[in-house]
Amino acid sequence: MELADSELLIRITELSGENLRSCYQCGKCSASCPMTDFMDLFPRDVIKQILEGKEQVLLSETPWVCASCFSCTVRCPNEIDIAGVMEAVRQIRLREKYDRFHPSRIPLDELEGLPQIALIGCFRKMTG
């Protein structure tokens, strides 16, 4: 008997357009990820928790550490765009008016040296 999809899985599927149910937990995404040292959940575990409907995944650090580098995406044997799934998790939070980062947290002496491209990229990914 197929379990019914959780609300979380339905929402993430809508936002990302990805079929997470094709994931067979091979871990290739985690193995390809350059940022795992800074993550609390491996990319594979993010996918697993979403599949299990565990809302706590929305509080994970991992989507905020993800750098949208697409290494996982291009290596997943089931063509799941994991980077897009990370974005979906971020979007759920950001659309609840949650800001992960505030410009005031950048020390003034550093702000001057930072390239625009970094600032715009960061605000696009980390603020609602």
Partner 1 sequence: MKSITYFPGCTHHTNGRNMESSGKAVLETLGYQLEEMPEWICCGTVFGLSEDDLFHQVAPIRNLARVENAGDDKLVTMCAMCYNTLGRANLLVRKDKVALEALNRFMDDEPDYHGVVDVFHLSQFLRDEVGFEKISSKVRRPLKGLKVMPYYGCLLLRPEEVSIDSMEDPTIICDILEAVGVQSIKGSYISQCCGSYHTVDKKEAVARRAFEIISSARKKGAEMIALACPLCEFNLDDRQRLLSDNGMPVLYFTELLALAFGLEDSCDFDEHYVDPRPLLREKGLLGGSNGQE
Q: Which residues bind ligand SF4 (CB under 6 A)?
A: 23-29, 32-33, 35, 43-44, 47, 66-72, 76-78, 80, 82-83, 86
- Binding partner 1 by CB under 8 A: which of 21, 38, 55, 128? 38
5 binds, among ligand SF4, partner 1, none (CB under 5 to 8 A by kind): none
Residue 96: partners with Cβ closer than 8 Å, 6 or more residues away: 128
Single-letter amino acid, residue 110: E
- Long-range contacts, stretch 76-80, CB < 8 angstroms, 24+ apart: 76/23, 76/28, 76/29, 77/24, 77/26, 77/28, 78/19, 78/22, 78/23, 78/24, 79/22, 80/18, 80/19, 80/20, 80/22, 80/23, 80/29, 80/47
Q: Is 125 in the site for partner 1 (CB under 8 A)?
A: yes
Residues 43-82 that bind partner 1 (CB under 8 A): 65, 67-71, 73-74, 81
One-letter amino acid identity for 3? L
Longest Cα–Cα distance in the chain: 60
- Residue 59 interacting entry, from ligand SF4, partner 1, none, C-beta within 5 to 8 Å by type: none
Comparison of 11 and 28: residue with beta carbon closer to ligand SF4: 28
Which residues contact partner 1 (rule: CB under 8 A)? 14-17, 34-35, 37-38, 65, 67-71, 73-74, 81, 83-84, 87-88, 91, 100-101, 105-106, 113-122, 124-126
